Structure 1
Amino acid sequence: MYSTIDYLSDEHWLVDRAYVLYKILRPKTKLFLLKLRLLIYSVEYKKYLKRVIKNLPYGLTIIYLGLLSISLLAILNEKSEGMRVITLTSGSMEPVIPVPSLVLTKPVESYKKGDIITYQEISPTTGITFNHTITHRIIEEKKIDEQPIFITKGDANNVPDPQNVTKEAIKGKVILILPYLGYFPLLLKTLPGFLLLIAMPSYFLIKNELKYLAKEFDYYDFEKAVP
Structure 2
Amino acid sequence: MPALRLLRSAYLTGAAIIGAACILGFAATQLFGVQALVVVSGSMEPAIPVGSLLLTREVPAAEASVGDVVTTERPQGGGLVTHRLVASEQDGALWSMTLRGDANRADDPWPYRVDSVGVALAWVPWFGRMAWVFRTPLGIAGIALVVSSFVLAWFLPPGDPPRLGRRRAS
Relative to the length of structure 1, the TM-score reads 0.54
Question: What's the CA shift for 1:64?
Answer: 4.0
Structure 1 counterpart of 2:42, from 85, 91, 96: 91
SS at match of 1:107: strand
Which structure carries more strand by proportion? 2
Compared CA separation, residues 139 and 66, structure 1 to 2 (3 A): farther
Question: What's the CA shift for 1:189?
Answer: 1.4
Which structure carries more helix by proportion? 1
> Which structure: larger Rg?
1
Compared CA separation, residues 154 and 104, structure 1 to 2 (3 A): same
Task: Name the structure 2 match of 1:57.
Answer: 11
Task: Name the structure 2 match of 1:211.
Answer: 156
Compared CA separation, residues 96 and 58, structure 1 to 2 (3 A): farther
Partner amino acid, structure 2, of 1:151: T
Task: Name the structure 1 match of 2:72.
Answer: 119
Deviating 4+ runs (over 4 angstroms) = 52-56, 143-147
Distance in 1, Cα, partners of 2:68 & 2:81: 13
SS at match of 2:59: coil
Counterparts of residues 95-106 of structure 1 (less than 5 Å): 95-106=46-57
Question: What's the CA shift for 1:202?
Answer: 1.5
Query: Which runs of 5 or more residues in structure 2 are unaligned?
Result: 1-5, 160-170
Distance in 2, Cα, partners of 1:147 & 1:203: 50
SS at match of 1:176: strand
Deviations 1:30-58 (CA, angstroms, capped at 9, x unpaired): xxxxxxxxxxxxxxxxxxxxxx9897535
SS at match of 2:56: strand
Relative to the length of structure 2, the TM-score reads 0.70
Distance in 2, Cα, partners of 1:62 & 1:107: 31
Contact 2:8–2:153 (CA<8 Å) still a contact in 1? no
Structure 2 counterpart of 1:141, from 85, 88, 92: 88
How many residues align? The count is 146
Distance in 1, Cα, partners of 2:151 & 2:141: 15
Cα RMSD for the two superposed structures:
3.2
Deviations 1:46-91 (CA, angstroms, capped at 9, x unpaired): xxxxxx9897535643554467x39x96xxx8xxxx4311111111
Distance in 2, Cα, partners of 1:116 & 1:176: 10
Counterparts of residues 154-169 of structure 1 (less than 5 Å): 154-168=101-115
Contact 2:59–2:117 (CA<8 Å) still a contact in 1? no
Partner amino acid, structure 2, of 1:94: E
Deviations 1:101-128 (CA, angstroms, capped at 9, x unpaired): 1111112341121010010111xxxxx2
Distance in 2, Cα, partners of 1:60 & 1:201: 12
| Higher normalized contact order (CA 8 Å, seq sep 6+, divided by chain length) | 2
Deviations 1:180-201 (CA, angstroms, capped at 9, x unpaired): 11121111111222222x1111
Partner amino acid, structure 1, of 2:11: P
Contact 2:42–2:49 (CA<8 Å) still a contact in 1? yes
